[in-house]
């Protein structure tokens, strides 16, 4: 099993599973659900229509949403028909957060974000064949509805006592911030979405994160009351690291799916840094590798963890899935070259620049002395330390050892940048400007 091979797994179900439900369970994608035996039979039978919603509360989806996108795709591969809902109306409100009210974005901003999220969702689904995907926008059925009609036709089916017990609502009621009627009403809107999709398309299954379980069951309960029919919901687990920390989304540092908000290089490095204790679970959830292939990587984690073969394969698979094979090849080449395993001068200019922006870096004029550049990039703390490091042969510039302290930084690499290295592993970028 080559660590540097760029061959990725086919986008397909694992044929060793009899039913896609069994594969979802094995991959750890079912944290909570409606009746499991009924779901297993449903997914083994004739094609059904199912959906997942994505609210435009930001200009891009993130890794948490990727769990849902890949779950949608797996179920579609079993022959079922996905609806990707982009919430043009629910995005104007936002589902309750645990601690405080969401900032309400303008209708113009939300409309722009709807378009961006729609394009992202479309990349992960197939729009061909008998089970072609469809993208829907809940603003289409909520915008024409007046407040009185909403209260009479939908609101009358909800009981306030039940709504108060929902986890997200209860958490806010017990907080200093409280909860507005606006966010309190979110579960009604999501329930109405499921009802509308059930009526229009015969939709009988909704997937979402387990933190959305109250909103998911809002829809199943509403359909049961209004239509007298049983429909289903699957709540996927919230992904956390083995040390209990939040996965993939920290304040101001989320791993977004938009390349302009999170470069493919940064995404690759994120996956490459996955802990040994987490990497096998990540391979199950975020890749299409079979259980036999994943078992091989589990063995490598146990016997040769220093190779980080599982992390490299995980990073390759996810970056390819999100950004394409060309982007994956470019970031792998950059990663290897930066750490001494390739030719820096052959790298793609844009990829190299984004990679250097993730390292300690400084923007300096062309012709700046290497000594000054070492200090500016914080590879050393002083001019005397810089000169000492050079005299000891411990500094390279653009892959070449610096022979004396009069050398200049020319930005000779693609895109007009340079790479400084002190020792074997300490790197910094110089952006000529």
How far apart are alpha carbons 56 and 62 in whole angstroms?
A: 11
Q: Is the pLDDT of residue 247 over 80?
A: no
Say how far residue 398 (Cα) sits from the centre of its chain: 33
Residues paired with 401 in a beta bridge: 396
Residue 82 in contact with residue 43, Cβ under 8 Å?
no
Residue 217 in contact with residue 163, Cβ under 8 Å?
no
Q: Which pLDDT tens digit goes with each residue over 272-296?
A: 999 999 999 999 999 999 999 999 9
Q: Is the pLDDT of residue 303 over 80?
A: yes
Rounded to two decimals, the pTM is 0.92
The residue that leads in pLDDT, 249 or 370, is 370
Residue 55 in contact with residue 87, Cβ under 8 Å?
yes
Of the chain, the percentage scoring pLDDT greater than 70 comes to 97
Q: Which tokens in the block code for residue 6? A: 């760029």
Calculated CA dihedral for residues 263, 267, 270, 271, nearest 10 degrees: -160
Burial of 268 (0-12, 13-18, 19+ CB in 10 A): buried
Mean pLDDT of 80-96: 92
Confidence (pLDDT) at 177? 80
Residue 392: pLDDT band (50, 70, 90) is: very high
| Angle between helical axes of 264-272 and 349-358 (0-180°, round to 10) | 50
Confidence (pLDDT) at 3? 43
Q: Whats the size of the chain, residue-wise?
A: 433
What's the whole-number average pLDDT of the chain? Answer: 93
Task: Report the 3 state secondary structure along the chain.
Answer: CCCCCCCCCCCCCCCCCCCHHHHHHHCCCCCEECCHHHHHHHHHCCCCEEEEEECCCCCCCEHHHHHHHHHHHHHHHCCCEEEEEECCCHHHCCCCCCCCCCCCCCHHHHHHHHHHHHHHHHCCCCCCCCCCCEEEECHHHHCCCCHHHHHHHCHHHCCHHHHHCCHHHHHHHCCCCCCCHHHHCHHHHHHHHHHHHHHHHCEEEEEEEHHHHHHHHHHHHHHHHHHCCCCEEEEECCCECCCCCECCCCCCCCCECCCCCCCHHHHHHHHHCCCHHHHHHHHHHHCCCCHHHHHHHHHHHHHCHHHCHHHHHHHHHHHHHHHCHHHHHHHHHHHHHHCCCCCHHHCCHHHHHHHHHHCCEEEECCCEEHHHHHHHCCCCCCHHHHHHHHHCCCEEECCEECCCCCCEECCCECCCEEEEEECCCEEEEEEEC
Reference 298, options 315, 313, 319; nearest CA is: 313
The residue that leads in pLDDT, 162 or 232, is 232
Angstrom distances, CA of residue 190 to CA of 51, 71, 139, 423: 12, 19, 12, 56
Q: Which pLDDT tens digit goes with each residue over 100-130?
A: 788 889 999 999 999 999 999 999 999 999 9
How far apart are alpha carbons 63 and 241 in whole angstroms?
A: 13
How far apart are alpha carbons 154 and 185 in whole angstroms?
A: 11
Confidence (pLDDT) at 253? 64
Reference 185, options 57, 101, 95, 53; nearest CA is: 95
Collect all residues with Cβ–Cβ distance below 8 Å to 194 and sequence separation of at least 6.
51, 203, 206, 218, 219, 220, 222, 223, 231
Angstrom distances, CA of residue 351 to CA of 182, 271, 330, 357: 43, 17, 7, 10
Mean pLDDT of 304-328: 97
Q: Is the pLDDT of residue 256 over 80?
A: yes
Confidence (pLDDT) at 251? 47
**Which domains, and CATH codes, for the chain?**
29-236 (3.40.50.620), 240-358 (1.10.240.10), 359-433 (3.10.290.10)
Q: Is the pLDDT of residue 62 over 60?
A: yes
Ranges 314-318, 338-342, 373-377: which has the least confidence: 338-342
Confidence (pLDDT) at 327? 95
Of the chain, the percentage scoring pLDDT greater than 90 comes to 84
Q: Which pLDDT tens digit goes with each residue over 136-159?
A: 999 999 999 999 999 999 999 999
Q: Which pLDDT tens digit goes with each residue over 165-185?
A: 888 888 888 888 888 898 899
Residue 99: pLDDT band (50, 70, 90) is: confident
Q: Is the pLDDT of residue 11 over 80?
A: yes
Residue 2: pLDDT band (50, 70, 90) is: very low
Q: Which pLDDT tens digit goes with each residue over 352-385?
A: 999 999 999 999 999 999 999 999 999 999 999 9
């Amino acid at each position: 099993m080559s660590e540097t091979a760029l061959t990725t797994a086919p986008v397909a179900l694992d044929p060793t599973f009899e039913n896609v439900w069994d594969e979802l369970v094995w991959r750890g994608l079912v944290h909570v659900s409606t009746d499991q035996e009924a779901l297993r039979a449903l997914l083994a039978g004739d094609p059904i229509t199912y959906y997942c919603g994505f609210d435009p509360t930001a200009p891009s989806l993130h890794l948490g949403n990727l769990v849902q996108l890949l779950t949608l795709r797996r179920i579609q591969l079993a022959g079922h028909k996905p609806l990707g809902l982009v919430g043009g109306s629910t995005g104007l409100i936002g589902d309750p957060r645990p601690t405080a009210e969401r900032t309400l974005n303008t209708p113009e901003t939300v409309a722009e974000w709807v378009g961006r999220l729609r394009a992202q969702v479309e990349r992960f689904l197939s729009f061909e064949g008998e089970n072609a995907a469809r993208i829907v926008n809940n603003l289409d059925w909520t915008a024409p509805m007046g407040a009185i009609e909403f209260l009479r036709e939908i609101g009358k089916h909800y009981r306030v006592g039940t709504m108060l017990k929902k986890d997200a609502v209860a958490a806010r009621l017990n907080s200093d911030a409280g909860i507005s009627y606006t966010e309190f009403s979110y579960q009604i809107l999501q329930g109405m979405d499921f009802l509308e999709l059930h009526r229009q398309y015969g939709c009988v299954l909704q997937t979402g994160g387990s933190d959305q379980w109250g909103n998911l069951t809002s829809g199943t309960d509403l359909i049961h009351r209004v239509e007298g029919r049983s429909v289903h919901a699957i709540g996927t687990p919230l992904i956390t690291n083995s040390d209990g920390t939040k996965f993939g989304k920290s304040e101001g540092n989320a791993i977004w799916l938009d390349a302009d908000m999170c470069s493919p290089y940064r995404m690759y490095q994120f996956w490459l840094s996955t802990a040994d204790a987490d990497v096998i679970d990540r391979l199950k959830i975020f890749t299409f590798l079979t259980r036999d292939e994943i078992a091989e990587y589990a063995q490598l984690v146990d016997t040769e963890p220093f190779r980080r073969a599982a992390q490299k394969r995980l990073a390759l698979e996810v970056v390819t899935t999100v950004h394409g094979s060309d982007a994956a090849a470019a970031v792998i080449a950059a990663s290897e070259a930066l750490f001494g395993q390739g030719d820096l001068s052959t790298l793609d200019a844009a990829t190299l620049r984004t990679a250097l922006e993730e390292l300690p870096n400084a923007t300096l004029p062309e012709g700046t002395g290497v000594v000054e550049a070492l200090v500016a990039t914080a590879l050393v703390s002083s001019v005397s330390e810089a000169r000492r490091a050079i005299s000891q042969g411990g500094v390279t510039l653009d892959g070449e050892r610096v022979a004396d302290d009069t050398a200049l930084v020319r930005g000779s690499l693609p895109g007009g940048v340079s790479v400084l290295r002190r020792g074997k592993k300490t790197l910094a970028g110089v952006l000529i400007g």
